[in-house]
Structure 1
Amino acid sequence: MPEELDHECAPQPASPEHAAPERRLDARSLRGLAHPLRMQIFELLSLDGPATATGLARRLGENTGTVSWHLRHLAEHGFIEEETGRGTKRERWWRRTRVANRLDTADFRDDPGSRGALSVYLHELTQQHFGRVTRYFTEEWDDRWRNAGTVMDWSDLRLTPDQLAALNAELIAVIARHTPAADAEPDPDALPVVVQLQSFPRKERGTA
């Protein structure tokens, strides 16, 4: 089951010159990310841009020293980097690296040493996705935005593995067509939009 770690994160634009490089995570990098607080930090930097340890600690309700330690850990594993030319020796700014991280759970199927990290990662990722939907429902939005958003599911599909993979590829291509280039001038009426896609087989259960 392929998992995009760029949550968290928009699919890359269709134009190759704007696409971020991609890396496939191994056991070491997975363990570097698979921690509840580190995943929260990575999510905030991915969604809201650069921040300091102090600012992140305030938002997360954590100790600044603890957040700083986890930031250095994320940087060591290549998930984030210091934003040079900004901040001071005492207050460093951090940003996520422009790399599309990809994880395939099949890579760890026969690695008992990685099962714990994989379990933590999948649990935290699910919590993050659920939390975003919950916040959307509880926040105040004007009718224009409320009517534009949607949370839907379809449960009447019957597909082969190849058909499911093709469906996912088509959906990703659609999102890519709507993803502006990094240097595009933003529309003043536009807000950040999160698109979450979950598509997976369901084991049938008997009616008896």
Structure 2
Amino acid sequence: MNEPQDSPVRNLDARSLRGLAHPLRMQLLDALRFGGPATASQLAGKLGESSGATSYHLRQLALHGFIEDAPERGKGRERWWKAVHTGLRFDDALLTDARPDVRGAADLYIHEVATTQARDLSTWLGNRPAWPEEWNRAWDMSSATLRLTPELTLELVEKMHALVDTYRDRAADEDDTDTAQVRIHTHAFPLTTEVKGTA
């Protein structure tokens, strides 16, 4: 079942994943989701790519329904684009799909997400001194190592996501000068492949 076009979160299926699973396309979509509408040449400058490459991949994103025209911005000859959804939902079943190309696209997608998250954190660390003292007291980079079952791990992940969701309704006004887009990353994974009770 497909979600409504105006749904804030898009569920990735095999077809849409194959249309998105490309590093530049994922960067372009993130740039539009978090930076607002832009043209191919603006995005090319921001990402250090050619406008020809960004134009091609923007058209592919539009073909798969991730972005659309932003006619309210189009005052000149250049085409403006905007993101259709505010978020994406990845189904782990795509990693074990019967089709090799789907599994490959799923693997590429999750590795690119991990790379992007590491890049986001590295960018913050590099730019941190330029931020006000209040923001330098508010950030976090912590880890915890627990001994859990798969069921407890899933319960913890769901509770973390539920907690984050409670702050969506408390979002500050974009015009408030004290606010910024704050990225929250959550990771939960076992540290070794050794499982008790196996040979």
With structure 1 as the length reference, what TM-score do the two structures score? 0.80
For 2:10 and 2:156, the matched residues in 1 are separated by 23
Equivalent residue, structure 1, for 2:165: 176
For 1:182 and 1:73, the matched residues in 2 are separated by 32
Equivalent residue, structure 2, for 1:12: none
Contact 2:95 2:107 in 1 (8 A): no
Q: Of residues 88, 101, 125 in structure 2, which corresponds to 1:113?
A: 101
Superposed displacement of residue 170, structure 1? 1.4
Is 1:31 aligned with 2:55?
no
5+ residue gaps, structure 1, are 1-18
Letter of the structure 2 residue corresponding to residue 129 of structure 1: Q
Contact 1:20 1:100 in 2 (8 A): no
Aligned residue for 1:86, secondary structure, equals: coil
For 1:87 and 1:184, the matched residues in 2 are separated by 26
Is 1:191 aligned with 2:180?
yes
More strand by share: 1
Q: Of residues 53, 67, 71 in structure 2, which corresponds to 1:80?
A: 67
Equivalent residue, structure 1, for 2:116: 128
Equivalent residue, structure 1, for 2:49: 62
Which whole-Å deviations, capped at 9, do the CAs of 1:12-46 have from their partners, x for residues lacking one?
xxxxxxx9444422221111111111111111112
Is 1:43 aligned with 2:30?
yes
Aligned-residue sequence identity (percent) comes to 40
Which whole-Å deviations, capped at 9, do the CAs of 1:102-153 have from their partners, x for residues lacking one?
1113234032122221222122111100001101111122322111101011
With structure 2 as the length reference, what TM-score do the two structures score? 0.83
Q: Let me know the Cα RMSD of the aligned residues.
A: 2.4
Higher relative contact order (CA 8 A, sep 6+): 1
Equivalent residue, structure 1, for 2:3: none
The ranges of structure 1 where at least 4 consecutive aligned residues each deviate by more than 6 angstroms after the TM superposition are none
Contact 2:21 2:106 in 1 (8 A): yes
Shifted more, 185-194 versus 77-86: the winner is: 185-194
Aligned residue for 1:159, secondary structure, equals: coil
Equivalent residue, structure 2, for 1:152: 142
For 2:133 and 2:172, the matched residues in 1 are separated by 30
Aligned residue for 2:191, secondary structure, equals: coil
Letter of the structure 1 residue corresponding to residue 54 of structure 2: V
Contact 2:40 2:54 in 1 (8 A): yes
Change (3 A) 1:168 1:36: same
5+ residue gaps, structure 2, are 1-5
